[in-house]
Amino acid sequence: MNSLFALSALAAASIHPLADIQADALEDEVAWEILVDLTTQIGPRLGGTPAEARARAWSVERLNALGFSNVRVEEFTMPAWVRGDEQAWVLGDHSQELVVTALGNSGSTGPDGIEAEVVGYDSYAAFLAAPASEQRGKVVFIWHDMAPTQDGSSYSAFGGARFFGPAEASRRGAAAILVKSIGTDSDRLPHTGMTNFGDAAPIPAGALSVPDAGQLRRLLALGKPVTIRLLMTPAQIGPQTSGNVIAEVPGRDPEAKKVMVACHLDSWDNAPGVFDDGAGCAIVAAAAKRVMDMGQPERTIEIVWFGAEEVGIHGGRDFAARHDGKDYHVVAESDFGADRVWRVDTNLGEDRKAEADRLRAALAPLGIVPGSYTSAGGADIGPLMQEGAPGLSLRQDGTRYFDLHHTANDTLDKVDRDQFQQNVAAWTTMLMVMAGPVE
Amino acid sequence: MNSLFALSALAAASIHPLADIQADALEDEVAWEILVDLTTQIGPRLGGTPAEARARAWSVERLNALGFSNVRVEEFTMPAWVRGDEQAWVLGDHSQELVVTALGNSGSTGPDGIEAEVVGYDSYAAFLAAPASEQRGKVVFIWHDMAPTQDGSSYSAFGGARFFGPAEASRRGAAAILVKSIGTDSDRLPHTGMTNFGDAAPIPAGALSVPDAGQLRRLLALGKPVTIRLLMTPAQIGPQTSGNVIAEVPGRDPEAKKVMVACHLDSWDNAPGVFDDGAGCAIVAAAAKRVMDMGQPERTIEIVWFGAEEVGIHGGRDFAARHDGKDYHVVAESDFGADRVWRVDTNLGEDRKAEADRLRAALAPLGIVPGSYTSAGGADIGPLMQEGAPGLSLRQDGTRYFDLHHTANDTLDKVDRDQFQQNVAAWTTMLMVMAGPVE
């Protein structure tokens, strides 16, 4: 089936022409209302905290009010980590404070802090290549040269210092590690994010803001020893309750495999989580509501607002443990900000290429380019996809995502309404294609 | 004398054609080196603190190293205020932290903080128009609608909430006051700055970051009482030492009135003070050095890096008390960032219009437009001008100045080198015109 025929078939399957559906969705107000209310009334909502519990209660109320069915919470427990004090000072002739934040799972300096000399590296690779002997007892500082990319690929390419640096620095006997924030902004707002120590002993691990990392690098370039005082007192507080919030648009065929649209409800603790990921929750719910308001789709649409993603993808893992990936026709997650969808990737399997082509053709009027047939994903849907759930990704423009990601600056004023609503149009379109005819 | 003739006269007075002088200055490296070294090696340097004293010692060394004459410090004492802890929390159903910073001269909440209901206003005028009865015992919150302006005029137009709001709120019996930062950014970095209580009792007075002010405004719009917990523990610590750093390029005629080029050396405590005002110090010194390196001007050029400007223009007042404004041919200050000079204003007096015209003509090749003949100024040179010193202003583009002003974001990475060096060219040009022929 060629794409033009596919589009005709789609239009024929609905009393609503696709162009009208998209035009209406571009003017969507529901997603904005969800986003404003969640991020204003709840604010930051770290996984496993009372704020996240308030967010779940708010979500159940809102999803019911929007008219969805079978709204419920699946609770689970998870190990929780909370931030403490955090402060860094350069000592001596160039005495000054540096803006630092602890990485998730960071060890504590204890309430008295530590003082140690800094040993700096221009990249994660340079840190790895250097001998442990020069790092032992020191504060390791790792710079990087991350630049913005539309597809966000610079995050994994340059994120090693945060992802793996702390564990490696611990194994090498470093007293602590400070990384340049894994970000592309120039604001004095450090980027937090998880790190994992594996079998290494946790050491204090922090991120300096990008300007502060530049300042420390210049101080090191003066060629004299730089001693830093570091105070970070985060703590592991043991198992806490989180949960996934689930809602449905029941399909006409209860035996048909479901379509899941997902996001994560939790945020980091330093911001109300607008780009990460209130926007995703607002987008997928608004799109599902648009379909629901047009009639009943063939397949059940399942909306999942996952809990405790930031701090270890706990919601995604719990969901996959309770449910079967093979029950899904497709799963998709919106978790890359509020800017426009620019590419569609699918991983539906070889035998569903025609369906992927229908989706590509339907999304083209929104300026979305076709991407991969064999690659899709999302943090929370990853475990389900490992169980065999087909996936697709509506890839968002990430050019400015890592300006805001995991910083205090992830706030409502950053949203470009036009781009945000293009997401609603894209997800509505996707559901019209994937959930079957709406009647 | 018409302008074209004036330019010919200027060129004739020097072996260096003006176009060459400007082209060279646009490639200046000295200003950048001063700016990098001051703001990296010293960092923040609040008036009256040990950091400002370090900055003075650094300045004397650097100004001597650059070859200036008669480098010296004029010390003075000043009342000093220092920041303490600062934290704000919305309590109750929408519990969340708001990013706040104390305004200079703010009172303290005491170490236990205060809790009070918030009463919000959309403008300073609305606050003034409302009855004191609704403000008594409350935390007054004042919004504003400041937008960027090239000439910076929105600062005074919308700054009333910070300048006058705290004293007025105190007189009305408010428990505290929070203003939306007097700024044009959307970063969660509040703008500090002085406020003056006059004869009113100091109350806790803070600025919320622009996004946090938006968040509080949305919470108030929900229509239910909003209670806030506020902790701010700044303190007045009594008289401290500050000082003005002075250097000279001796003129050929020691009896001729001098030309002063000025800036302020101190910064706020939350940033290394690049736009405010390390850039100004770097620009005026680099320009004076360019003139010095070309020969000897007729008039002595006096470089003054004022102390303790931010916290009350103490350096400017002390200087005017010791020196006579009538000894100056002209005084000028660079204190509006690092972006390009776009307009020249003079206040030389009616009888020196031809000289003002020569200056205008000489600056035109740098894209600088002519402004006022009767208005010029600068915080630190203000007291001298009140004593009769003629002044001029090389007005910088302020479009993004109030994104950074008095915030932690006032860092080196924000500088646009091309615009910064255009300043050096403008100030060099100004000195070539005003300090008389260089021989």
What are the pLDDT digits (tens) for A200-224? Answer: 999 999 999 999 999 999 999 999 9
Write down the residue that tokens 């009208």 correspond to.
Answer: A20
What pLDDT is attached to residue A8?
52
Nearest CA in chain A to B403: A187
For residue B2, pLDDT over 70 is answered with no
CA distance B332 to B375: 12
Partner-chain residue, chosen from A95, A189, A211, that has the shortest CB–CB distance to B413: A211
Interface predicted TM-score (ipTM) over 0.90: yes
Mean pLDDT of chain B: 96
Rounded CA separation B292/B285 (Å): 10
Say if the Cβ atoms of A412 and B214 lie within 8 Å. yes
CA distance B269 to chain A (A): 10
B273 and chain A in contact, CB less than 8 A: no
Tokens of A162: 């945060």
Q: Which of residues 369-398 of A touch B (CB under 8 A)?
A: none
Under-70 pLDDT residues of chain A:
1-15
Which structure tokens are listed for A42? 């709840």
**Band of pLDDT at residue B1, cut at 50, 70 and 90:** very low
Tell me what pLDDT residue A373 has: 98
Per the structure block, which two tokens stand in for B296?
Answer: 């000897």
Go through the domains of chain B in sequence order and give each one's CATH number: 3-81+238-434 (3.40.630.10), 84-233 (3.50.30.30)
| C-alpha span between B49 and B294 (Å, rounded) | 37
**In the A/B pair of chains, how many CB contacts fall below 8 A?**
96
Considering only the beta carbons, identify the residue of B43, B214, B222 that sits closest to A96: B43
Residues 98-157 of B with CB under 8 A from A: 99
Residue A99 phi/psi, 5-degree rounding, is -85, 120
Chain A: residue nearest B226 by CA? A41
Residue of B nearest to A412 (CA): B211
- The whole-angstrom separation of Cα A18 and Cα A22 is 6
* CB neighbour list of residue B173: distance below 8 Å, 6 or more residues apart: B132, B135, B136, B137
List of chain B residues whose C-beta atoms are within 8 Å of the C-beta of residue A188 = 189, 271, 408-409, 411
Q: Tell me how close the Cα of A127 comes to any Cα of chain B, in angstroms.
A: 24
Best probe of the A interface among B94, B143, B187, by most A CBs < 10 A, is B187
Residue B357: pLDDT over 80? yes
With H, G, I as helix, E, B as strand and everything else as coil, classify residue A44. Answer: coil
Residue A15 confidence (pLDDT): 62
A111 token code pair: 């309430």
- CB atoms B51 and A95 under 8 Å: yes
Inter-chain touch A186–B43, beta carbons under 8 Å: no
The per-residue DSSP string of B307-363 comes to SS-TTT-HHHHHHHHHS-GGGEEEEEE--S-SSPEEEEEEE--GGGHHHHHHHHHHH
> Tokens 């708001």, residue?
B98
Residue-level pLDDT at A16: 73
d(CA A101, CA A219): 20
**Chain B within 8 Å of A210 (Cβ-Cβ)?**
yes
Q: Do B187 and A189 touch (CB under 8 A)?
A: yes
Report pLDDT for B10: 56
CB contact under 8 A, A189 and B186: no
Cβ of residue A325 closer than 8 Å to a chain B Cβ: no
Q: What is the torsion angle, in degrees rounded to the nearest 10, for the CA atoms of residue A30, residue A31, residue A36 and residue A41?
A: 80
Report the percent of chain B where pLDDT is more than 90: 96
Chain A: closest CA distance from residue B142 (Å): 18
Residues 6+ positions from B361 with CB-CB distance below 8 Å: B3, B4, B6, B7
Name the residue in chain A with its Cα closest to that of B187.
A409
Q: Is A84 on the interface with B (CB under 8 A)?
A: no
Contacts of B278 in chain A (CB under 8 A): none
Closest CA to A317 of A229, A381, A391, A234: A381
Distance of CA B39 to the CA centre of its chain: 15
* Strand order through the sheet with A227-232: A96-98, A86-90, A227-232, A114-121, A139-142, A176-180, A205-208, A100-102
**B218 close to A (CB below 8 A):** yes
pLDDT at B321 over 60: yes
**Taking CB atoms and an 8 Å limit, are B411 and A215 in contact across chains?**
yes
Rounded mean pLDDT of B188-203?
Answer: 97
Query: Reduced to 3 states, what is the DSSP secondary structure of residue A273?
Result: coil
Contact A189 B189 (CB under 8 A): yes
Q: Which amino acid is at B184?
A: T
Distance CA A332, CA A394 (A): 8
Select from A40, A54, A215 the Cβ nearest to the Cβ of B215. A40
- Predicted confidence at residue A12, as pLDDT, reads 46
In whole angstroms, what is the distance from residue A165 CA to residue A179 CA? 8
Burial of B87 per CB tally in 10 Å (0-12, 13-18, 19+): middle
- Rounded Cα–Cα distance for residues A56 and B232 (Å): 33
**Does B97 contact chain A (CB < 8 Å)?**
yes
Question: Helix, strand or coil for residue A278?
Answer: helix
